[in-house]
Amino acid sequence: MTEITQRRTTWKKLDARVRTILPFSLTVTVLLFGMTPTYVPGLAQITPMYTLVAVYFWAIYRPDLLGYGLGFAIGVLEDLLTGAPLGVGTLVLLLIQWVVFNQHKFFHAKPFVITWFAFGLVAFGAVLLKWVGVGLVSSSGPTPFGDVFASYLITVAVYPIIAWLFSKVRSGLLDEP
């Protein structure tokens, strides 16, 4: 009898543990997803920056589960994987978290359209900073801004899809009644 209860609590603990790392693992998943080749002409150039969406989303809705430490980890992972100048993407993600955490009152419990619009602003700042940062750190000068801007627009366009998926996960698995 006691053994069963014990086993049950172990399962519960494990279950809770898995749930708490969900935002992080989902963010890594969208990062890897963004890297898989699509074979669609012209798309590789302007792939959406999925990590911006994911980090912004979790910073608003579950800041307790994706804090600065994990934001940093995601940034380093992305920089190492993409071969972009190390540290620049990390800095950008940390700053997004900083903005959202500090303006929590503004971002919290707002209608979707407003969060989306705010994402448009935050992401523009982020992309601009990344563009400048990559240009400064890399020895070959700036990347053409046209593709970067197109990539930004696509990132803003995919925000609703990712946010919808994540909020399904959030309401289904994370925010228990």
Partner 1 sequence: MKQPTGQISRLGTFKYLAQRFAFLSLIGLTFALMLIGKADTVIVERVSMAVSDAVTPILRVMAEPAASISKFVTNVQELGAIREQNTDLREINARLLEWQAVAQKLENENRQLRALLGTVNEPEARAVSARVVADYGGAFAQSVLITAGGRDGVAKGQAVVTGEGLTGRVAQAGYRSARVLLITDINSRIPVRVGEAGDRAILTGNNSPRPRLIFLGVKSAIAPGDRVVTSGDAGAFPPGLPVGRVVVADESSALIEPFVSRDRLQYVEVLDFGLTGFLADTDGPQ
* Contact status: 80 vs partner 1 (CB under 8 A): yes
Nearest to 31 by CA among 18, 49, 56: 49
* Contact status: 107 vs partner 1 (CB under 8 A): no
Question: Judged by CB under 8 A, how many residues of this single chain contact partner 1?
Answer: 56
Length of the chain: 177
* Contact status: 36 vs partner 1 (CB under 8 A): yes
Q: Which stretch binds partner 1 (CB under 8 A): 15-23, 78-86, 105-113, 157-165?
A: 78-86
Nearest to 115 by CA among 166, 61, 64, 173: 61
Give the per-residue SS3 of 48-115. Answer: CCHHHHHHHHHHHHCCCCCCHHHHHHHHHHHHHHHCCCCCHHHHHHHHHHHHHHHCHHHHCCCCHHHH
Which of residues 151, 153, 160, 167 is near partner 1 by CB under 8 A? 151
| Shorter beta-carbon distance to partner 1: residue 143 or 167 | 143
* Contact status: 67 vs partner 1 (CB under 8 A): yes
Q: How far is CA 38 from CA 34, 42, 109, in A?
A: 9, 10, 35
| Shorter beta-carbon distance to partner 1: residue 2 or 39 | 39
* Contact status: 143 vs partner 1 (CB under 8 A): yes
Residues in contact with partner 1 by CB under 8 A are 32-49, 67-69, 71-72, 75-77, 79-88, 90-91, 94, 97-98, 101, 130-131, 134, 137-141, 143-144, 147-148, 150-151
